[in-house]
Amino acid sequence: MTSHDDRLKDEQRTAPSSPSSETRKTTTVSLRAPSFAHVSQLADLIAEARRYPQGVSRADLCETLTLGRNAVDRRLKTAVELGLLAPAGRGVSTGGRAPEMWRFNPRAATILAFSVAYRSATVALMDLGGAIIDRISWAEGILSDPQQVTDHAVEHLMALRGRHPELPPAWGLGACIPAPVDFRDGTLIPPATARAGGAADTLAWTGFPLRQQLSRRLDLPVWLDDEVNVMALAAAKRIGAPPDLLYVRLSLGLGMGIVSGGQVHRGAAAASGEIAHIQMAGAGGRACRCGRRGCLETTLSGGAMEDAAVTPQALKRSPYLRRLDESEGVRCEHVFRGAAEGDPVCVRLLTEAADRLSVVLAVLTTTYNPGEVVLGGGVAQAGEFFSRAVGQALRRRVLPATSERLRVRMGGADDTLSGACRMVTDALLSAHVMHVWMPHGSPVGVQEVVTHRRQDA
Ligand SMILES: [Zn+2]
């Protein structure tokens, strides 16, 4: 390292505290703000390390980031001081001495996540890498009163933090909801169903200051997005994920998230992927909750499956549904789980859904040519059988040029939580946001970060 290097001045301002343990509660990095160029390169270096859980070598970092050895060393030093990178032993030798390796340290801090579904909600305490440490779920969702759901979420989030005093503090909260969100400032906008003139069941949430309430009451920066976008983000950040993919969420309702070039695509009015209310059957079709008739969701959704399961259940044709408490009625989750157990009625309902979905996906995949179609939401409980059924039906409908590099797979049961966590860590470890909190050593309590209005900047 040369002390004549002007760029070095930036690094000297960040105090050289060396963490004694990977799990740190406080950080002593302080002093004046580092230059934006330094933070920008540091953010790139951390992002690169996050792509390789086994660790990266200095030589790899120099090559990928097109930085000199000294520059990489200085950024590595800062990242280690912040607790975000840790030594990962030695890598594989390519002739000489085996190189030293560094890896991202997911235990440097914790992240909170809050996922609202249709009839349930979940909060989780996670590490920076998206591993779930603890969680609480309860039976209340977007069909319930927004204030009540938010009050309970805050209560449970505080309980989660209280249950793990030994862990480092939470750096932020990621929240998601199965309704459209203007991502610029995280406001809940009217669903497409409302614009179509229908009595939308989620309308009570429109304009509700969910993000502001969570941020103020927990004193944390909060990022909020539509559930399906967050799920698509989780799929996009999986190791080995293709840069272009479609995420179909099949729960009580139907939704789609689009990832293009590794980024979530939102569209001009945050309405991209609103496939549920495409009119398929014309005016003669079934009435939809949006107030029109014949929408795709009336024949392809968990709600449609619940309707279709009423008769077989009443006629006791399904061994699985027969075991359910009849007063409770059939829920789409029952149909998904019944299919996983091989119940013939549930399997038939999902095979029909797979065929209907393949019609829509044939158009979308031929147009967009994604590398992956991920099927998630409640239907993830149906297991691999559903992705095989969709894959087979889809391959019959499209040319090999579209299908030969297309993988159809099931999403994870926790894609909402891991996507919400990822949304927060990506933002907090971006150059613009790091530049604000770095002089303080961590984002904890930095009001400029906690109260930030624009989520996309
Ligand atoms: Zn509709």
Q: How far is the CA of 375 from the centre of ligand 1 (A)?
A: 21
d(CA 263, ligand 1 centre) in Å = 28
Interval between CA 276 and ligand 1 midpoint (Å): 7
What share of the chain has pLDDT > 70, as a percent?
Answer: 90
Residue 302 CA to ligand 1 centre (angstroms): 14
Q: Can you tell me the mean pLDDT for 334-345?
A: 95
- 3-state secondary structure labels for all residues of the chain: CCCCCCCHHHHHHCCCCCCCCCCCCCCCCCCCCCCHHHHHHHHHHHHHHHCCCCCEEHHHHHHHHCCCHHHHHHHHHHHHHCCCEEEEEECCCCCCCCCEEEEECHHHCEEEEEEECCCCEEEEEEECCCCEEEEEEECCCCCCCHHHHHHHHHHHHHHHHHHCCCCCCEEEEEEEECCCEECCCCEECCCHHHHCCCCCCCHHHCCCCHHHHHHHHHCCCEEEEEHHHHHHHHHHCCCCCCCCEEEEEECCCEEEEEEECCEEECCCCCCCCCCCCCECCHHHCCECCCCCECEHHHCCCHHHHHHHHHHHHHCCCCHHHHCCCCCCCCCHHHHHHHHHCCCHHHHHHHHHHHHHHHHHHHHHHHHHCCCEEEEEHHHHHHCHHHHHHHHHHHHHHCCHHHHCCCEEEECCCCHHHHHHHHHHHHHHCCHHHHHHHHHHCCCCCCHHHHCCCCCCC
- pLDDT tens profile 209-259: 999 999 999 999 999 999 999 999 999 999 899 999 999 999 999 999 999
Cα 288 to ligand 1 centroid, rounded to whole Å = 5
Q: pLDDT tens across 33-62, in order?
A: 788 999 999 999 999 999 998 899 999 999
pLDDT score recorded for residue 314: 83
Per domain, the residue ranges of the chain are 8-107, 109-232+415-450, 240-410
Question: From ligand 1's centre to the CA of 386, what distance in Å?
Answer: 24
Q: What is the pLDDT of residues 370-396, one digit of tens each?
A: 999 999 999 999 999 999 999 999 999
The Å distance, Cα 359 to ligand 1 centre, comes to: 18
At 30 the pLDDT is: 47
**Cα 293 to ligand 1 centroid, rounded to whole Å:** 7
Residue scoring higher pLDDT (119 or 196): 119
**How many whole angstroms from 181 Cα to the centroid of ligand 1?**
19
pLDDT digits (tens, 9 = 90+) for 97-112: 888 999 999 999 999 9
Kindly tell me if the per-residue pLDDT of 20 is higher than 60.
no
Per-residue pLDDT band at 12 (split at 50, 70, 90): very low
pLDDT at 18 over 60: no
Of 202 and 176, the one with more pLDDT:
176
User: Stretch 335-340: mean pLDDT, rounded?
Assistant: 95
CA of 184 to the centre of ligand 1 (A): 26
pTM of this structure? 0.89
Q: How far is the CA of 192 from the centre of ligand 1 (A)?
A: 9
Q: 289 C-alpha vs ligand 1 centroid, how far in Å?
A: 6
Identical fold, 109-232+415-450 and 240-410: yes
- The CATH number fitting domain 240-410, selected from 3.40.50.720, 3.50.50.60, 3.40.190.10, 3.30.420.40: 3.30.420.40
Distance (Å) from CA 226 to ligand 1 centroid: 18
Measured in Å, residue 254 CA sits from the centre of ligand 1 at 10
Rounded to the nearest angstrom, the distance between the alpha carbon of 414 and the centre of ligand 1 is 27
- Residue 24 reports pLDDT greater than 70: no
Fold (CATH) for 109-232+415-450: Nucleotidyltransferase; domain 5 (3.30.420)
State pLDDT tens for residues 263-316. 999 888 878 888 998 888 877 889 888 888 899 999 999 999 999 998 888 888
Q: Choose the CATH number for 8-107 among 3.40.50.300, 1.10.10.10, 3.20.20.10, 1.10.10.60.
A: 1.10.10.10
Distance 80 CA to ligand 1 centre (A): 52
